[in-house]
C-alpha cells in the first residue's frame, strides 16, 4: 500500500508545489492523477519512489518510509516511467536499455535475456531490439522506457503522461495492457491530461489544483462534475457532453464510457418502441 501523509514540498526556487497532500492508494488500484499544469501532479508522484523527499510529512511504501531508504531500493517496488523518455533513456540499443536495470538488480544472464524478449514482444519493439532508442519516434521511445521498467516486474507502476505521442490504437493497447496488469494485482498510477483516455479506463480519479487535492473518487462521478473540472481546467469527456446535452429523463448524467452509453441509449430506444 502507498500512503502519503500531509506532505509539503517546496523547490529550491521557493515555489511550494505541494501543500498538505494526503493520499492512500491500495494494492491493485488504478488511479489517475489529473489537474492543470503546475497543479503538483508530477511532483506528487515523484515522491512515490523517493525521487523527491517531502519537506514535511511522510510517504510510505508498504510501511517503509521513503526518506529512510534509497531510490534504488524503492525502484524495485515502484517503477516510474517519465513523461519525456529522453530523461530516462541512455543506452546504445533498445535491448541494452532494458537490460541495464536487470543487471543492476542482479538477475542472471538467462533471466535477463528472457525478460528482454518478453518486454519487446509485449510492446511491439522486437524489430528495434538492436536499434538505438534515439533513432526511434517519440511514441516508440516512450514504449522503450515502459519496457525497461516493466522488465523487472515492479509491484507499483507510475506512468507520467503515457499517452502523449501515441496514436489511437497505441492508446487502446495501453488501456488494455493496464487492465491486464490490474488483473495481475499491480498498482497503477497515471498522471495525465488525457480526459478521453481516463474516461475509457474509468479509474479512481484524484484531482489536483495549486498543490492540493480537491477531489478524489470514482472517475465517472468526478469527470461528470462540470464545476469541479472547471477548477482544474479539464473539459468534460465527449460522452459526458452528449449525455448532458441530451438531458433525457431516465438517462443518468454520470456516463463517461462509450460502451455504457451505447447500452443505455439502445435500451431507451427499445423501450420507446
Taking each helix axis from N to C terminus, what angle separates 94-104 and 138-150, rounded to the nearest 10 degrees?
30
Grid coordinates given for 127: 524489430
What are the structural domains, with CATH classification, of the chain? 1-73+154-235 (3.40.50.300), 78-153 (no CATH), 237-273 (no CATH)
What are the two backbone dihedrals, phi and then psi, of residue 4, each rounded to the nearest 5 degrees? -115, 125
For residue 195, what pLDDT is reported? 93
Predicted pLDDT at 98: 94
In sequence order, what E strands does the chain have?
2-10, 16-25, 30-34, 56-61, 64-65, 78-81, 156-160, 187-191, 204-209, 212-218
pLDDT along the chain (273 residues), means of 10: 96 93 96 94 95 95 92 90 88 93 91 94 92 90 91 93 84 86 92 92 94 94 90 89 81 84 83 70
Confidence (pLDDT) at 31: 97
Question: Which pLDDT value is given to residue 273?
Answer: 63
Q: Are 128 and 142 in contact (CB under 8 A)?
A: no
Q: Which of 96, 21, 89 is nearest to 52 (CA)?
A: 21
For residues 163 and 174, the answer to whether their CB atoms sit within 8 Å is: yes
Amino acid at each position: 500500500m502507498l500512503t502519503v501523509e500531509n506532505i509539503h514540498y517546496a523547490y529550491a526556487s521557493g515555489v511550494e508545489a505541494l501543500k498538505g497532500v494526503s493520499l492512500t492508494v491500495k494494492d491493485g488500484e488504478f488511479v489517475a492523477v489529473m489537474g492543470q499544469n503546475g497543479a503538483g501532479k508530477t511532483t506528487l508522484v515523484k515522491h512515490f519512489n523517493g525521487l523527491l523527499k517531502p519537506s514535511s510529512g511522510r510517504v510510505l511504501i508498504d510501511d517503509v518510509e521513503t526518506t529512510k531508504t534509497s531510490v534504488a531500493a524503492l525502484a524495485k517496488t515502484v517503477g516510474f516511467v517519465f513523461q519525456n523518455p529522453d530523461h530516462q533513456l541512455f543506452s546504445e540499443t533498445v535491448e541494452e536499455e532494458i537490460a541495464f536495470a536487470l543487471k543492476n538488480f542482479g538477475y542472471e544472464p538467462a533471466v535477463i535475456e528472457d525478460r528482454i524478449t518478453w518486454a519487446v514482444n509485449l510492446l511491439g519493439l522486437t524489430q528495434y531490439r538492436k536499434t538505438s532508442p534515439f533513432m526511434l519516434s517519440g511514441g516508440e521511445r516512450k514504449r522503450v522506457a515502459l519496457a525497461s521498467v516493466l522488465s523487472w516486474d515492479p509491484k507499483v507502476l507510475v506512468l507520467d503522461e503515457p499517452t502523449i505521442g501515441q496514436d489511437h490504437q497505441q492508446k487502446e493497447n495501453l488501456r488494455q495492457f493496464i487492465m491486464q496488469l490490474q488483473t495481475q494485482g499491480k498498482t497503477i498510477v497515471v498522471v495525465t491530461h488525457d480526459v478521453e483516455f481516463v474516461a475509457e479506463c474509468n479509474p479512481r480519479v484524484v484531482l489536483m489544483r495549486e498543490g492540493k487535492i480537491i477531489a478524489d473518487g470514482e472517475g465517472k462521478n468526478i469527470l461528470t462534475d462540470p464545476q469541479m473540472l472547471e477548477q482544474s481546467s479539464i473539459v468534460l469527456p465527449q460522452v459526458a457532453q452528449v449525455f448532458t446535452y441530451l438531458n433525457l429523463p431516465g438517462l443518468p448524467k454520470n456516463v463517461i464510457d462509450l460502451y455504457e452509453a451505447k447500452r443505455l441509449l439502445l435500451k431507451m430506444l427499445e423501450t420507446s418502441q
